[in-house]
Amino acid sequence: MPLLKANSVFVSNSFFIFITRFFPSLANLLVLVWYSRNLSETDYGNYQLFWIQLYVIYPLISFGLHNVIVTYSRNFLANILSKIKVLHYAIYVFWSIALSVVFALLQSRLGQVHFFTALLFILSFSVGVITESLLIVFRKYSVLTWTGFLYAASFCAIHWWALSVGLSLQELFSLLLVVSMLRVFVYSCAVLIEVKKDVDGYVEEFVDLGSVRALWLHLGLYDVVQMLSTWVDKFAVALVLTAGLSAIYYNGAQNVPFLPILLSAAGSAVLLQLADRNGLPEKETTLQLVNESGRMLSSIVFPVFFFLYIFRSELFVSILSEKYIPAIPIFAVSILSLPVRAYSFTTVLQRAHKGHIINIGAVAELLLAVLLMYPLYLWMGLPGVALSFVISTYLQAAFYLIATARHLQVSPLHLLPLRNWVVKFILYGSVLLVIHHLGTIQYTGKGTLLLGVLGMVLLILFTFVFELNRKKHHGRAAEPIQA
C-alpha cells in the first residue's frame, strides 16, 4: 500500500540521517567524559566556553539554511538557487565573516584561542552544517556516514593526545580546525559531483521567492532562538559565575547525547517524504507520518528518560566522578523535559510555511524561560535555572500542537498516539524502577548502572521491533486516535 511504503521509507531515511550524525555526537560524549574526569572544574569550564560561544553564534551564520534545504526536493532547490542574485550571495558571505569576527574577538580577548584559528573554525563549522543538509537531500548517506565516522575518530584522537601531552587550547583547536576543514572539503566535493550529474539541467518549476524567503527568515529566526534556548543558560552561568560552577552546571544541564539528532533526523525524514509524496493526499499522509514518528521516537526516548532519571546518581558517580555530584539535582530537573522530545512539533508547520507560528512559539518559550530563570534561581539555586526551561518547553509543545491541529483541521488528539504512549510510559517506568531496586540490593553502583543499561537497551529493542512488526502484520500504520 502507498502509505505503508511511505512509512517504510520514513524509517529508512530517519535511520540514515541519524547515523550520519551519530559518530560526531558519540565523539562529543566521549570527550565530555574524558575531560570531566581528567581536568579540574576550572580547566574544563574554560574548555567548554569555546563550544558554548560557538553554539550561540554559529546559528546566526547558518540562519536556518540547513532547515530550509531539507524542506524542498532536489529539483526545486535548483530552481531556487538559480533565481538568487549574486549580490545576495555576496551579502550573505559578508554577514558570515562579520559574525565570525565577533566570535574570534571573544576568543582572542579571553586569551584562549588565537583570532584567525577561531575565525576559520566557526566558518568551516557553519559551512559543514549547510553542505551536510545538501547531501541529505541528495541522499548521499554513504559519504555522510564515512566522513562522520572519520571526523569523529580524528576528533577523539586529537583530544586524547592533547590530554596526554598537555596541549594548550590554542594547539588543540588548531588541530581540530584542520579536521573540520577537511570535512568541509569532502562535503563540498560530493556536492559538486552531484550537481555535475544534472548535465541536462533541471525541470523548470514555478518558485514563489517571496514565500521561500519568508520561510527562510522564519526558520532562521527559529533556529537561532532554539539554539539560544539550549545554550543561553550555560552562557549566562559562564558569564556571572566561576568556571568551576559553570562546569558543574554545564554537565548537569547537558543535552542527552544522540536524542537531538534523532529528533532532527525524524523531522527531516518526514519533510523528505512529504516533498516526494507522489500524488498521495497530503493531509492523510501527514497524519500517518507524524503518528508513526511519535510511535517510533517514543520507543527510544521514553526508556532513555526513565533510565537517566532513575539511575542518575549511579550515572554521574560512575562516569563523571564524584566531583560532579553537585550536578545531579540540576540533571534531575533538566531531563524532565525529555518525554516531550518524542515528537517533532514543528515539522508540519514547517512544511506548511507557517514560519510565523513557529517563531511565536520559539520566541515566547525563550522569553518565558529567561523571565523565570532568576526568580527560580533565587528559590532553588542552579536547578531552578534548569526548571525554567522545562516549564517553557512544555508550554511551547502545547502551543505547537494546537496550531498544527488548527492547520490540518483535526483534533489535537489525532496528531498524537496517546494510548501507545501511556502504555509505554507505564511499562518503561515500572520495569526500570524494579531493575534499579534489585540492582541496589545485589550490586555496587557500577553494577546497578550496567544492569540498568541492559534493561533500557532490551526495552528499546523489544518495543522498536514490536512497532515494526505491527506495521508489517497490519499492512498499514495504526489509525490516529479519535478525539
DSSP codes joined into one string, 2-34:
HHHHHHHHHHHHHHHHHHHHHHHHHHHHHHHHH
Q: What is the pLDDT of residue 67?
A: 77
What value, to the nearest 5°, has the Cα angle with vertex 4 and ends 139 and 461? 80
Residue type at 56?
Answer: V
Burial class (CB in 10 A: 0-12, 13-18, 19+), 214: middle
Q: What is the pLDDT of residue 256?
A: 77
For 154, the grid coordinates are 580524528
Q: What is the pLDDT of residue 269?
A: 64
Helices 41-62 & 86-110 angle (0-180, nearest 10): 170
In a 13 Å sphere around the CA of 2, the CA atoms on its Cβ side amount to 11
Nearest to 173, CA basis, from 112, 253, 132: 112
Q: Rounded to whole angstroms, how far apart are CA atoms 191 and 186?
A: 9
Q: Give the pLDDT confidence of 48-106 residue by residue, as tens digits.
A: 889 988 988 998 998 888 777 877 767 777 777 777 788 888 998 999 999 999 999 98
Q: What is the pLDDT of residue 207?
A: 67
Map residue 289 onto helix, strand or coil.
Answer: helix
Neighbours of 285 (CB within 10 A): 19
Q: What is the pLDDT of residue 33?
A: 86
pLDDT truncated to tens, each residue of the chain (483 aa)?
A: 454 444 555 556 666 667 777 888 889 888 988 888 888 888 888 888 899 889 889 989 988 887 778 777 677 777 777 777 888 889 989 999 999 999 999 888 877 889 999 999 999 999 998 898 888 888 888 888 899 899 999 999 999 999 999 888 999 999 999 999 999 999 999 888 887 776 555 666 666 677 777 778 877 887 888 788 888 888 888 878 887 888 889 888 887 776 776 676 666 666 666 656 555 566 777 787 778 878 888 888 899 999 999 999 999 888 887 888 999 999 999 999 999 888 878 878 877 778 788 889 989 999 999 999 999 999 999 999 999 999 999 999 999 999 988 988 888 888 888 898 999 999 999 999 999 999 988 888 788 999 999 999 999 899 888 887 776 665 444 443 333
CA distances from 120 to 18, 98, 144 (A): 27, 12, 22
Cβ 233 vs Cβ 393: under 8 Å: no
Neighbours of 149 (CB within 10 A): 17
Q: What is the pLDDT of residue 475?
A: 47
Q: What is the pLDDT of residue 284?
A: 76
Q: Which residue has the cell 539528532?
A: 261
